[in-house]
Chain A
Amino acid sequence: MKRILSSRWVKPVVFLAALAPLLLLVWQFFHDGLGANPLQFITHATGDWTLRFLVFTLAVTPLRKLLNLPDLIRFRRMLGLYAFFYGCLHLMTYLWFDKFFDWADIVKDIAKRPYITIGTLGLVLMIPLAITSTVGWIRRMGGKRWQMLHRLTYVSIVAGVIHYYWLVKLDVSRPLFYGGLTAILLLYRVAVWFMKSRARRVPAPVAA
């Protein structure tokens, strides 16, 4: 496993795999595979993949530690950027197919409908993260500050889950599923933080 993860080929493979949902949508679009309401299908699919990639991104750190696979870090940026990419497609389907770029109506919608407000917030918060995702920006900002900024991902995923929860008509099982995953991923971080701060507070045993 470690050998695979560090190989040269695995990155392009992951890149293509992450692109597959989009390619599948395009293929289905031209082969009458999107059902009776294609635009809704596309909206749901791109929204789902945004949340999934946020989950994948946040799963990198725990999995690295728990499975002892440090090389997983090589994929974190790509997964995060894919979350942003699918999020942008999701927003486009809304702006274009749902609102036909009627900006007055869009602004009203964002202000008036909580699920749209919070969904927009979640995506907007990802913009600075996408911009500062390069090595150059990490250097410029310094690792600590960069890391602080990129904790906004936590807000984005929570916003995404709430967005989903607030929009379903009645059946909340799927939003709750993502909510559960998010809770696990965030609780992991809380637990790590808690153990670290305790380790710091408890003085190291004095050598006799």
Chain B
Amino acid sequence: KLEGVVKSSYTVSDKATPYKDVTTYNNFYEFGVDKEDPAVNAKNFRTSPWTISVEGDVAKPRKFDISEILKIAPLEERIYRHRCVEAWSMVVPWIGIPLNALLKLVEPTAKAKYVAFQSLYDPRQMPKAGALDFPYMEGLRLDEAMHPLTMLTVGLYGEVLPNQNGAPLRLTVPWKYGFKGIKSINRIRLVGSQPSTSWNTMAAREYGFYSNVNPNVDHPRWSQAKERRIGEFFKRDTLMFNGYGDQVAGLYSGLDLKKNY
């Protein structure tokens, strides 16, 4: 249970997906490639002690203990839509802080243009890890990372983040496909050029660096126009930027989103 959580206005009115579904239907390849695997295989994952190193093009690089992260800013509950690149979606009451609160503390220098994230990879604790090259890596442009919607997440449904959802610290970027939301982060690096990211490295044609939710740009093998909201029978139309266009479309003005998928 997380204390002192304030409700945020960054909340959608969609009905939240049941806790059971949010915590048993996960893509977390470090703990197996099936959706049911992480809930089983991450059960004994050790999330304490945990430090996050924030480094690179910053004036004040430093290591944070996870307990310090919780104190950087008031913990907020935000109900976000979550759209997976596999054309299913959920609605999740996350708890966390804006990523920009952390980044401001370390003071990015003028050279910093991107933020590179890395997950912990411990083969002894993750014997079922498969398909990808680990450690898992993700990245954002600095302006995307500083956007108020971009969240460092430590909990859901009022509780500490379950291991299968990326404990103790994950990224939540609601207008991008779910795989951008890197889990179990232990390293954040500010860099000058676009960092390499895991899915993009494996299949660049299928998983772009931006990976903004976009019903008009299909995955090469399947359509992204519709999605199945977990718990619903009929499919719904996928919304541009997952419905967050009012807040984030400005980040991409002048950018060809078909080319920069």
Query: Which residues, 101 to 123 on A, are CB-close (under 8 Å) to B?
Result: 109, 113-115
Which residues on B sit within 8 Å (CB–CB) of A170?
33, 131-132, 202-203
Say whether, besides A109-B223, A115-B221, A167-B221, A37 and B230 are in contact (CB < 8 Å).
yes
Query: Which residues, 131 to 145 on B, are CB-close (under 8 Å) to A?
Result: 131-132
B19 to chain A, nearest CB (A): 11
CB pair B24 A35 closer than 8 Å? yes
Which A-B residue pairs are the 4 nearest by beta carbons? A36-B25, A36-B21, A171-B131, A171-B33
Contact digits for B207-234, partner A, Cβ 8 Å, 1 yes 0 no: 0000000000000011100001011011
Size band of the interface chain A makes with B? 10 to 19
Say whether, besides A36-B24, A37-B88, A100 and B132 are in contact (CB < 8 Å).
no
Which residues on A sit within 8 Å (CB–CB) of B20?
36
17 example contacts (A-B, Cβ-Cβ < 8 A) are as follows A35-B24, A35-B25, A36-B17, A36-B20, A36-B230, A37-B25, A37-B230, A39-B233, A40-B88, A109-B223, A113-B221, A113-B222, A167-B221, A170-B33, A170-B202, A171-B131, A173-B130
Let me know if B147 is at the binding interface, CB within 8 A.
Answer: no
CB pair A169 B130 closer than 8 Å? no
Say whether, besides A113-B222, A166-B221, A170-B202, A36 and B35 are in contact (CB < 8 Å).
yes
Which residues on A sit within 8 Å (CB–CB) of B35?
35-37
Taking Cβ atoms with an 8 Å cutoff, the residues of A that contact B are: 35-37, 39-40, 97-98, 100, 109, 113-115, 166-167, 169-171, 173
Instruction: Identify B234's interface contact among A36, A100, A169, CB under 8 A.
Output: A100
CB pair A100 B230 closer than 8 Å? no
- 20 A-B pairs besides A37-B230, A115-B221, A170-B131 with CB distance below 8 A are A35-B24, A35-B25, A35-B36, A36-B17, A36-B20, A36-B24, A36-B25, A36-B231, A37-B25, A37-B88, A39-B228, A98-B235, A100-B234, A109-B223, A113-B222, A166-B221, A169-B131, A170-B202, A171-B131, A173-B130
Let me know if B107 is at the binding interface, CB within 8 A.
Answer: no
C-alpha spacing A166/B230, complex, angstroms: 24
C-alpha spacing A97/B235, complex, angstroms: 9
A169 to chain B, nearest CB (A): 7
Let me know if B86 is at the binding interface, CB within 8 A.
Answer: yes
Which residues on B sit within 8 Å (CB–CB) of A171?
33, 130-131
C-alpha spacing A39/B235, complex, angstroms: 11
Closest to A170 in B: B131
| Most chain A beta-carbon contacts within 10 A, residue among B17, B33, B86, B234 | B33
Which residues on B sit within 8 Å (CB–CB) of A97?
233
C-alpha spacing A115/B219, complex, angstroms: 13
Closest to A105 in B: B223
B141 to chain A, nearest CB (A): 25
Closest to B21 in A: A36
Which residues on B sit within 8 Å (CB–CB) of A113?
221-222
Contact digits for B221-261, partner A, Cβ 8 Å, 1 yes 0 no: 11100001011011100000000000000000000000000
Which residues on A sit within 8 Å (CB–CB) of B86?
169
Which residues on A sit within 8 Å (CB–CB) of B233?
39, 97
Which residues on A sit within 8 Å (CB–CB) of B202?
170
Closest to A174 in B: B33
Which residues on B sit within 8 Å (CB–CB) of A115?
221
| Most chain B beta-carbon contacts within 10 A, residue among A36, A39, A166 | A36
